[in-house]
Amino acid sequence: MMAEDIQHNQKSNFNGLTKSAKSGASKKLIIKNFKDRPKLTDSYTEDTWMKLRDAVSAIQNSTSIKYNLEELYQAVENLCSYKVSPVLYKQLRQVCEDHVQAQIHQFREYPSSSLDSLLFLKRMNRCWQDHCSQTIMIRSIFLFLDRTYILQNSLLPSIWDTGLELFRTHIVSDGAVQSRTVEGILEQIERERNGETVDRSLLRSLLGMLSDLQVYKDSFEQRFLTETNRLYAAEGQRLMQERDVPEYLHHVARRLEEENDRVISYLDQSTQKPLITTVEKQLLGEHLNAILQKGLWMLLDENRVCELMLLYELLNKVKGGLTALLQAWRDYIKSFGGEIVSSPEKDKEMVQELLDFKDKMDHVTQRCFQRNDTFINAMKEAFESFINKRPNKPAELIAKYVDSKLRAGNKEATEEELERILDKIMIIFRFIHGKDVFEAFYKKDLAKRLLVGKSASVDAEKSMLSKLKHECGAAFTSKLEGMFKDMELSKDIMIQFKQYMQNQSDPSNIELTVNILTMGYWPSYTPMDVHLPAEMVKLQEVFKLFYLGKHSGRKLQWQPTLGHAVLKTEFKEGKKELQVSLFQTLVLLMFNESDECSVEEIRAATGIEDGELKRTLQSLACGKARVLNKMPRGKDVEDADCFHFNSDFRHKLFRIKINQIQMKETVEEQVSTTERVFQDRQYQIDAAVVRIMKMRKTLSHNLLVSELYNQLKFPVKPADLKKRIESLIDRDYMERDKENPNQYHYVA
């Protein structure tokens, strides 16, 4: 009987545990529901919904809720457990929709006066904030419904999304309300752009509302961008007329900063790109040419680094901005540099101005243009273009400038600074096409420095030579290097000559130093026969005998224009040494025999050419160290003047350099040097033509000219090439084709 009761209880209570009665059978543990689901009374569903509806209504009307929130949550869970979720969801949605629909009237009936637009926005924001907080509260009560039934039905929006949908459908999507809201927001933004203070938190909330409701782009962004375009188009036109470029650029930068700040503060992030693009287009893109034409040259002239940096940064944002800036930058360099090069009255300052201009442009590219390679290359092209607009002269003046820096007495720079200056000069030198002109004048100046001991530093000289060799090749510097070798060999020869003189039975009281120059290395000098004292002539003959005894077959040609001497002189104040040129020496030696000499007497005795003689007398009688007195007094030397030895001459130094006449380059000498360069060019053209024709045998005129341009290292005009070709035809090096006059044949 006991066994039967147990078995009955196991069947009636499905929450109990069941064991197998069979001995030895495997044991199973089965968990059953503890109790049956209680049946709902007819009024339970209705009563529970009434409680929930009252709670929702209290939330919507901001009144106190009569029921405990946990109790309400449990009520929702109970209803969902008994499969009334669909009905509950529909009822909740309807209650919420009725409430939202009731809100629309307060906005439709709101006054449309512009004075009330801010109040309208505040009321809309209040309504939105209340709606959001109410939806969150309602969702917390109906959370079980949201996470079970609604979540399991993908076609149903969540309670939060339902709240957004209802607000969007019944309030924001209303044409009048939406228009009023957007216009109010745009009005506030325009006021802020005009300098007024606005409530940014209000704008952030309302624009966040439009974004959450997914109407931001359609309802607001397009109108906002249109208004932005209109505002900045008008502003750009007005300010370009009223302000100068630096002020305008700072205004644009400030506007862009303000618009970016608006994105951070209250606009949606997606608006940033089209907004900034619109501002840049209207304030920069539409006025690109005007900004560059009106302001770039002024900014560069005044070295306005900050504004140039800002200009580059701003134009870098605009399509085609940097391209336009690049062209304007190139035009400026060509124009400014062209003025430096093409003005003969500025020749003395040309090279220094070029170096300063290059430094300035380098500074702009590094500081302002972010070391952009395109701008650096454009600068180089522009320099090369303008510096060769005036052929030959820049090359000549650069050579003169190098001479001024390498000459002794240049106290402007230390060795390190001198090296930096030479490096800068080489940069300018690279732009020059006529490097052979530079070489000709550089060689003349180098000769002066070496022969009269005027070189400031042998190291600096060799450094410059090394730079030229690296830039132009060994062929370019071979003659210059030969000049240095001659000077070194001359030192060795003079050591041997002094030993030779010590063994002579009739030693001279004149100490002779001779520089042996290889004619092919050095510049050519105009020979001048002067009357040397007998003792000097004798010493020359002794040296000639000594030198030719060691180097038979060679020929010595004396160059008196390059000579200089140290004279021991006695004045009333005491003994002095005068460092003078050979011409000055010949003049002063005459006053050993006579106290007074006329110009004609000096000319006849010395044989010095008239112009050179007058410059020499001028240096001795009219300069700072006046060892001769001229009668009558005056700065210019006339044929009727007479000269006396100035025994009253005083000077604080023992050795005095009297304006040592160096080979001052006259206009004629400059022309002569240039003509020699042109003559050398003709020889090079001839050699190149013959070399090409010998290799190719037959060639058309155009191909020959093209090949010549590739081989020649100096600028040449087509007409000059044609003349040289005609000359070679006349000399039977080549001939024209009988049927085609534009075809040439090499004549072996």
What is the per-residue pLDDT across 651-690, written as a single tens digit (0 to 9) for each? 888 887 876 544 445 555 566 666 667 677 777 888 888 8
Q: Cβ distance 185 to 200 under 8 Å?
A: no
pLDDT digit string, tens, across residues 220-268: 999 999 999 999 999 999 999 999 999 999 999 999 999 999 999 999 9
SS3 (DSSP) at 734? strand
- The 8-class DSSP code of residue 524 comes to P
Judge whether residue 209 has pLDDT over 80.
yes
Instruction: Write the CA distances from 90 to 85, 141, 589, 670, 736, integer angstroms.
Output: 9, 16, 132, 107, 106
293-312 average pLDDT score? 94
Chain-centroid distance of CA 162 in Å reads 59
Strand runs (DSSP E) across 369-439, as ranges? none
pLDDT at 211: 93
Q: Phi and psi dihedrals of 685, rounded to 5?
A: -65, -45
User: What string of DSSP letters covers 505-562?
Assistant: SS--SS--------TTTSPP---------HHHHHHHHHHHHHHHHHSTT------GGG
Q: How many CB atoms lie within 10 A of CB 628?
A: 22
pLDDT at 37: 54
pLDDT at 113: 57
Helix (H) or strand (E) holding 145: helix 143-145
464-489 average pLDDT score? 90
Question: 117-141 and 200-212 are packed helices; what angle lies between their axes, rounded to 10 degrees?
Answer: 50
- The 8-class DSSP code of residue 157 comes to P
Domains and CATH numbers, the chain: 44-214 (1.20.1310.10), 216-283 (1.20.1310.10), 297-486 (1.20.1310.10), 487-550 (no CATH), 563-657 (3.30.230.130), 667-746 (1.10.10.10)
**What is the pLDDT confidence band of residue 19, given thresholds at 50, 70 and 90?**
very low
**What is the pLDDT confidence band of residue 121, given thresholds at 50, 70 and 90?**
very high
Using CA of residue 590, residue 596, residue 601, residue 602, what is the dihedral sign? positive
* Pair of tokens at residue 98: 């009725």
Residue given tokens 């006449």 in the structure block: 661
pLDDT at 5: 37
pLDDT at 137: 93
- The 8-class DSSP code of residue 35 comes to S
Judge whether residue 35 has pLDDT over 80.
no
- Determine the Cα–Cα distance for residues 122 and 406; give it in Å rounded to an integer: 81
Judge whether residue 31 has pLDDT over 70.
no
* Pair of tokens at residue 134: 């109410």
Q: Cβ distance 455 to 449 under 8 Å?
A: yes
**pTM of this prediction?**
0.73
Mean pLDDT of the chain: 84
523-540 average pLDDT score? 84
289-303 average pLDDT score? 93
350-366 average pLDDT score? 94
Judge whether residue 724 has pLDDT over 90.
no
User: What string of DSSP letters covers 582-618?
Assistant: HHHHHHHHGGGT-SEEEHHHHHHHH---HHHHHHHHH
Q: Cβ distance 120 to 107 under 8 Å?
A: yes
